[in-house]
Amino acid sequence: MTKYNIALLPGDGIGPEVVDATVKVMDALQKKTDIEFEYKTYMIGDAEKKRSGTALPQATIDGVKEADACLFACVGETAKETILPLRQMFNLYANLRPAKAYPGVPAVRPETDIMMVRENTEGIYKMIGHRSPRSAFNVRVITWEASERIVRYAFEWAKKNGKKKVTAIHKSNVLDYTDGLFLEASRSVAAEYPEMEYNELIVDAASMWLVMYPESFEVVVTTNMFGDILSDVTAGLVGGLGMAPSGNVGDDMCIFEPVHGSAPDIAGKGIANPAACMLSAAMMLEWLGENKAAKLIEDAVLKVLKEGKTLTPDLKGKATTVEFAEAVAKAL
Ligand code: NAI
Ligand code: MG
């Protein structure tokens, strides 16, 4: 019996709904395997800020630190006071954002199977800047160390997962200082992997290529904001944000989270698609080394999607979040 302490950070909007649904599936998994979860839930986000004055209480930071792994759902307007500082304070430098089109999902591009590896600690999200009444700036910070580290992560992930191609996305033709450095670091790492195909695309053209020819991408590596934006593009290719899981990964800590935000337009209606959160939990299990358990969750989600009888409205179905969760738990 292996026991894991899991920190749950449901946050705002649809967050508690998708986390509850995911816990249902993890509970079902406990019955199938010799894995046991001990959950601890922590406060984070807009509602917590309203209640206590801070969106990221110290108890939450401590809880994330102490846990074996952490599952965060989403917050509203306080993203820059919560998940951004958590990524930076715990050096969760790799943001893994896979976009996979599952059978049964009305995906715009069913041929999509891309792993986006986004640098997660610097770039323009460093939150260094200044605001005057009529002018403002944000500083974009790119370092050799972080660039090299993220590109190496992308190549190692590709190698480990049987992929043959890594694409670096940048804007070095205009952002010559920062992306010039990123690209130089990227090329130096790529040279260490002669067996792997390596190519580069400028971010604007890359956006078009991703939409028109997603099958030409395997692993994508890019800087923080480009990765943020492009991973919503790739989510759009595979059925939307309800289908997009992710992980924030460091050398010995992690926070897994669906890519989506708090979705205020559907919050409280019980119709959010929890698949993104469940697939994030599967990624978390893989990170913990529980590959078989991770696969069980992914396969159960896949089975329900493929059957097509219990899909949430974003996937053109009529099921509720709870009904989807029950179907996945049953499939397990
Ligand atoms: P969003 O991701 O919350 O929603 C975009 C659209 O996708 C909405 O129409 C929503 O209904 C739909 N959607 C998202 N997740 C879904 C799911 N699981 N099932 C079905 N439909 C889903 O992005 P939006 O509307 O731009 O932002 C809303 C709030 O979320 C903002 O306050 C923003 O700051 C915050 N946000 C937080 C993030 C985080 O916590 N990491 C990430 C992105 C946004
Ligand atoms: Mg985003």
For residue 102, being part of any structural domain is answered with: no
Catalytic residue set: 125, 171, 204, 228, 232
Ligand having the closest approach to the CA of 75: 1
Look at strands 94-100 and 113-119 and give their pairing: antiparallel
Ligand having the closest approach to the CA of 228: 2
CA 172, distance to chain mean position in Å, is: 25
273 Cβ below 6 A of ligand 1: yes
Q: Are residues 321 and 248 in the same domain?
A: yes
Give me 155's structure tokens. Answer: 């190549």
280 Cβ below 6 A of ligand 1: no
Ligand having the closest approach to the CA of 264: 1
Q: Are residues 259 and 328 in the same domain?
A: yes
Question: Which one of 217, 237, 257 terminates a domain?
Answer: 237
Longest dimension (CA), the chain: 60
Q: Are residues 181 and 300 in the same domain?
A: no
For residue 251, being part of any structural domain is answered with: yes
**Number of neighbouring beta carbons within 10 Å of residue 143:** 16
CA 154, distance to chain mean position in Å, is: 15
Rounded to whole angstroms, the Cα distance separating 7 from 63 reads: 6
Q: Whose CA is nearest to atom 40 of ligand 1?
A: 74
Residue 72 β-bridge partners:
9
For residue 232, being part of any structural domain is answered with: yes
Q: Are residues 116 and 228 in the same domain?
A: yes
Residue 115 β-bridge partners:
98, 219
Residue 255 β-bridge partners:
248
C-beta of residue 143 within 8 angstroms of C-beta of residue 185: no
Where in the sequence is the domain holding 211, given as residue range(s)? 108-237
Give, rounded to a whole angstrom, the gap between the first and last alpha carbons of the chain: 19
**Number of neighbouring beta carbons within 10 Å of residue 261:** 18
Q: Whose CA is nearest to atom 5 of ligand 1?
A: 263
34 Cβ below 6 A of ligand 1: no
Question: Which one of 183, 218, 237 terminates a domain?
Answer: 237
Ligand 1 atom at shortest distance from the alpha carbon of 14: 18
Distance 110 CA to ligand 1 centre (A): 23
Look at strands 35-41 and 2-11 and give their pairing: parallel
Question: Which one of 191, 215, 237 terminates a domain?
Answer: 237
The pLDDT, as a whole number, for residue 289 is: 96
Q: What φ, ψ does residue 180 adopt, rounded to 5°?
A: -60, -45
The pLDDT, as a whole number, for residue 39 is: 98
Distance 228 CA to ligand 2 centre (A): 5
Give me 111's structure tokens. Answer: 């041929």
Exposed / middle / buried, residue 312 (Cβ in 10 Å: 0-12, 13-18, 19+): buried
Among 262, 277, 312, 315, name the best residue to mutate to test ligand 1's pocket (greatest count of ligand atoms within 8 A of Cβ): 262
3-state secondary structure of 78: coil
The pLDDT, as a whole number, for residue 137 is: 97
Q: Count how many domains the chain has.
A: 2
Q: Are residues 318 and 203 in the same domain?
A: no
75 Cβ below 6 A of ligand 1: yes
The pLDDT, as a whole number, for residue 1 is: 86
231 Cβ below 6 A of ligand 1: no
Among 241, 301, 314, 321, name the best residue to mutate to test ligand 1's pocket (greatest count of ligand atoms within 8 A of Cβ): 241
| Beta-carbon-side half-sphere exposure of residue 33 (alpha carbons within 13 Å) | 22
For residue 101, being part of any structural domain is answered with: no
Q: Are residues 119 and 150 in the same domain?
A: yes
For residue 103, being part of any structural domain is answered with: no
Distance 329 CA to ligand 1 centre (A): 25
The pTM is what? Answer: 0.95
Exposed / middle / buried, residue 176 (Cβ in 10 Å: 0-12, 13-18, 19+): exposed
317 Cβ below 6 A of ligand 1: no
Distance 245 CA to ligand 1 centre (A): 13
Q: Are residues 143 and 229 in the same domain?
A: yes
C-beta of residue 37 within 8 angstroms of C-beta of residue 4: yes
pLDDT by residue for the chain (332 residues), tens digit each? 899 999 999 999 999 999 999 999 999 999 999 999 999 999 999 999 999 999 999 999 999 999 999 999 999 999 999 999 999 899 999 999 999 999 989 999 999 999 999 999 999 999 999 999 999 999 999 999 999 999 999 999 999 999 999 999 999 999 999 999 999 999 999 999 999 999 999 999 999 999 999 999 999 999 999 999 999 999 999 999 999 999 999 999 999 999 999 999 999 999 999 999 999 999 999 999 999 999 999 999 999 999 999 999 999 999 999 999 999 999 99
Rounded to whole angstroms, the Cα distance separating 37 from 243 reads: 24
For residue 25, being part of any structural domain is answered with: yes
Q: Are residues 89 and 115 in the same domain?
A: no
C-beta of residue 35 within 8 angstroms of C-beta of residue 290: yes
242 Cβ below 6 A of ligand 1: yes
Q: Where are the beta strands (DSSP E) in the chain?
A: 2-11, 35-41, 69-74, 94-100, 113-119, 129-132, 135-138, 165-170, 197-202, 219-222, 247-249, 254-256
Distance 262 CA to ligand 2 centre (A): 11
For residue 16, being part of any structural domain is answered with: yes
User: What CATH number corresponds to the domain at position 189?
Assistant: 3.40.718.10
For residue 278, being part of any structural domain is answered with: yes
Residue 114 β-bridge partners:
99
Q: Are residues 140 and 220 in the same domain?
A: yes
Q: Are residues 232 and 259 in the same domain?
A: no
Distance 260 CA to ligand 1 centre (A): 5
Q: Are residues 290 and 232 in the same domain?
A: no
C-beta of residue 225 within 8 angstroms of C-beta of residue 141: no
- Measured CA to CA in angstroms, residue 80 lies from 15, 55, 161, 316 at distances of 17, 10, 32, 32
Rounded to whole angstroms, the Cα distance separating 87 from 256 reads: 11
Q: Are residues 299 and 328 in the same domain?
A: yes
